[in-house]
Structures are given as structure tokens and as C-alpha cells.
Amino acid sequence: MSTATQDTATLIDPDVFAGRIYIDGEWVEGGGGATASIEPATGATLVQVGMADAADVARAAASAARAQQEWAAMPHPARAAVLRKAAQLWEQHAEEIMGWNIREVGAIPPLAGFALHVTAAECYEASSLPSAPLGTILSSEEPRLSLAQQIPVGVVGVISPFNVPLILGIRAVAPALALGNAVLLKPDPRTVVTGGVSMVRIFEEAGLPKGILQLVPGGAEVGEAMVADPHVRVVAFTGSTRAGRAVGELAGRHLTRAHLELGGNSAFLVREDADVDQAVNLATWGAFLHQGQICMTVGRHIVHESLFEEYVAKLAAKADSMVVGDPAAGQVHLGPLIDETQRDRVHTLVQDAVAQGARLAAGGTYEQLFYRPTVLANPPKDAAAYCDEVFGPVASVVSFATDDEAVELAAATDYGLSLGIVSRDAMKAYDLAKRIPTGIVHINDQTVNDEANAPFGGVGASGTGSRHGGAQANIDAFTETRWITMRREPGQYPL
């Protein structure tokens, strides 16, 4: 299928992809049947999307392996041109793709727009990778040329989640393709159009050869088949810590390299010298953006005792003033949670925290999938709403007396993704940050930030470190290192 790339053209045509998966450049019926893509704000069915099974994964992986060698052998300007064209197409079709993002994911328009911006930027950044230095000349004690060369791994499996499916898929798909790999993409079944179909169509129109990008949506069976397939040498997984542990365990058994970007429960430290209004502005964005369904969301607000009551009151007032509703129907601050299971989990955590002694300063109620932004003051440190990842619009606020206590509170978690510190003394804040293990630190900013050229990743239960963003991280993630030597004449050995 070919579609014109003018702004007025339709890129995503349900008549073509409905109920199908994408293998070897063709839309075909998947062995897993089909499922409905549901608009969480209304409960309406948007389209039927195809589901793969393990046999589809095997077929797609074999097809990708066959196509990959020719793609890797293409002159680097040709691969770069595909990535640049893809970036331009994301921009040209932004309005259409944003519409799917708003309706299928429940993203408010500003977040949907930001996701498109980062997605295009990821492709522009990736377009520089084919011409990046991919090797080093090594010293050798022998009379020979000794090289370390970065070569494509072959086939990369990408497993992306529902919450920000564009960014969390493209940040692996684009660099993996640019470096000469083929990709199997498994988006969350709830957001297949935004996180899968849109990518296939963009790269199809950008001129990516058949077989280089395959779309195999599905559940755990499909993910397991992808990790275990002998053609798939690297898996880039973004999702919950629980699921990530399972992926890592399975990958270890099959000697598949796994890059795991997992959950978070980020701390936001507000020192005694901070401006409360500025801190609350940052905290509102960090805690409630996208209904809190972001791995970097501010979960734990750790505020100096002298500012605590004012901070809680102002954050609660801000939460109470926010509009929650259908992002496709009008201007709102928060849209719906993704489904009833997630809503019920969030509500249970809030209720349990209140039962354990937390003060409900705002929110704690819902209608359908629309959960009010919620502020919990002084929850017990062992309350799940405070110490676990909530993945909902819930801000837990506790107090501290000294910087040492703040550091102890911030570091008292298995997670280590992002950290925000607000202080008039930026260098003092930086000194504190050095004592708190996280993969990302933002001084005088909140925790939810993303730039295509910046390394992204967490430590501890938040994952296996920075595996996305920036040329070196991407090259390390999606290539193998090969040692090569060359002699003028064959060597002579004593045996």
C-alpha cells in the first residue's frame, strides 16, 4: 500500500490494517485473532487490531533475519535518508497521529504533541548514527592492524508499554534501524495503533525495505516467544518492574541481551530555601501529567517541615482546580486512566493509605475511568501508595527536618529512575543528588523530562541503566563489538 504524504492524506487507514499484523511488508491475519482498541474516555471501540501468536513471531523473526543483512550493507547515507524522511513524516502527519494518541491512549493534547515532537527528534537523532564512528584502532604487540568494530546485532525485539507508546517505542526502533538492524515491534495490545501501526506506516512511507520492521502485537506469549527466538539477539523492554524481571530471567536463559527500562517512584525534594509556589508548579506537572501514568512521575514529595503545610495546601488547591475529562472533547488537565484494572488498583492504594493514617488533602474519587488528582499528606512510609509505583495521579507528601534526613528518605526505595530537587542553592542540591542513586537528576525541575539526545535509564528496580538516548548509548545498545586483525603476511607460530 502507498499513501501520499501530504498533510491532507490519511496515513492510518483502518480498512487496510484492521484485524491484521504486519509481517514481511504485508498486512496479514495473526494467529492470535483480533481484539478491540478501546477509547478509555468513552468505552467506544475505535478499531479491531490484529494479535500475533508464537508462530507469527517465529515467522517474523526469520523474515527479519533474512532482510537485515541487505539493509545493513546499504551505504550509510541511504539508511540515514530513511530516518530523516521518517522524522519529516512524523511532523507532516502529526495532527492525525495525535488524534489516535488522544483517543486510544487518553493523552491530553499537549502531551500528545510533545510525544510527536520527541518521536520526530528521535528519528532525526538516529539519522546521524549510520555515519557515526563505529570502531577504534587498537594498539597491538604484533605486526598487524588491530581494530574494534561495532556491527549490527541482527534482529532487535522491542516491547513497548501503553502509557507513552510513541516515545517508548521509537527510542529503540529508530536507533536500532539506523545502525543496520531489523526490528520486531510488540506494542501493548491496548495501544496498537498509536504504538505500532503508526510506526509501520511512517517507515513504510519513508522507504524502509520490506521485512526490516515487523509488527507482532500480543500478550505475554508473544513477548516470551520474541525473547526466546534464536534470531533475536537484543530485546529492548519498557514496562513494569515485575514484567521486566520476567523478561530478564528469560533472556538470561537464552543468552539474549536485554535492556530493561522499568518502573519508578521518583522523589521530589523541596528544601527549606525553596519558593513554595514554584515548587508546587513543578510538582503539579510532575505528579499529575498523563494521569500519573509515566515511569518518571513524582510519587514521593519530600518537603522541608517549615514548608510542609503550605506546600500540601497549595498542591491540594491546585489538584482541586484541575479539570478531568475526555481529552478529545475539550480542554482538560487530566484524561482517563487506561482501564478499570488500573483505576481500581489506584483507588485501592489510596484507600489503604488513608486507612493507615494518611490525610486525604485532595481527590481520592473517580467517575468511570476519570480519577481526580489526589494528594496524600503524611502517609506511613510503608503504605504502598508511598513506597510503590502507583501509576496514577497520586502525590504522597512527607516532611523532613535536615538534609541528611531528606537524602535518607529519597534513597529509601528499590527504584532509582529520576530525581528532582528544588533549592536556591543549586550546588548544594547537586551535592545531595550525588548521595541518592538514580539514573536521572533534575535540579530546580521536576522529574518528567525527555530529550532525544540525552541518555535515559534507571538503576536498581528501575532497570539496567542508560540504554537509550545519545549516540554512544544507542551504539552500545544495538551493536556487537568485534575484534579484527589484519597482517601483511601470514603469522609464524612455533608449533
Nearest Cα to Cα of residue 213 among 204, 222, 225, 224: 204
CA atoms within 13 A on the CB side of 5: 15
Write the Ramachandran bin of 94: left for phi over 0, alpha for psi from -120 to 50, otherwise beta.
alpha
Q: How far apart are CA 326 and CA 408, in angstroms?
A: 40
| Known catalytic membership, residue 261 | yes
Q: How far apart are CA 241 and CA 154, in angstroms?
A: 27
Please tell me what DSSP assigns to residue 190.
Answer: G
Distances (CA, A) of 232 to 13, 182, 187, 244: 30, 9, 16, 17
392 CB neighbour count, 10 Å cutoff = 25
Nearest Cα to Cα of residue 342 among 162, 107, 495: 162
- Report how many helices (DSSP H) and strands (DSSP E) the chain contains, helices first: 17, 23
For the stretch 373-378, contacts whose Cβ atoms lie closer than 8 Å and that sit 24 or more positions apart, written own/partner, are 373/287, 373/288, 373/319, 373/322, 373/324, 373/333, 373/334, 374/319, 374/350, 375/312, 375/315, 375/316, 375/319, 376/350, 377/312
Q: Is 408 helix (H, G, I), strand (E, B) or coil?
A: helix
> Which residue among the candidates 125, 204, 205, 261 is catalytic per the annotation?
261
For the stretch 251-254, contacts whose Cβ atoms lie closer than 8 Å and that sit 24 or more positions apart, written own/partner, are 251/227, 254/227, 254/228, 254/230
3-state secondary structure 46-83: EEEEECCCHHHHHHHHHHHHHHHHHHHHCCHHHHHHHH
> Which residue among the candidates 104, 122, 204, 295 is catalytic per the annotation?
295
Q: Name the grid cell of 439.
A: 539514573
Across the beta sheet with 374-377, the strand order is: 359-362, 374-377, 394-400, 298-304, 266-270, 418-422, 440-443
Q: Name the grid cell of 274.
A: 525553596
| Known catalytic membership, residue 29 | no
87 CB neighbour count, 10 Å cutoff = 23
Q: How far apart are CA 95 and CA 362, in angstroms?
A: 34
Q: Name the grid cell of 453.
A: 539526545
Residues found in the chain:
495
Burial track 141-177 (b if 16+ CB lie within 10 A, e otherwise): eeeeeeeeebebbbbbbbbbbbbbbbbbbbbbbbbbb
Active-site positions read: 261, 295
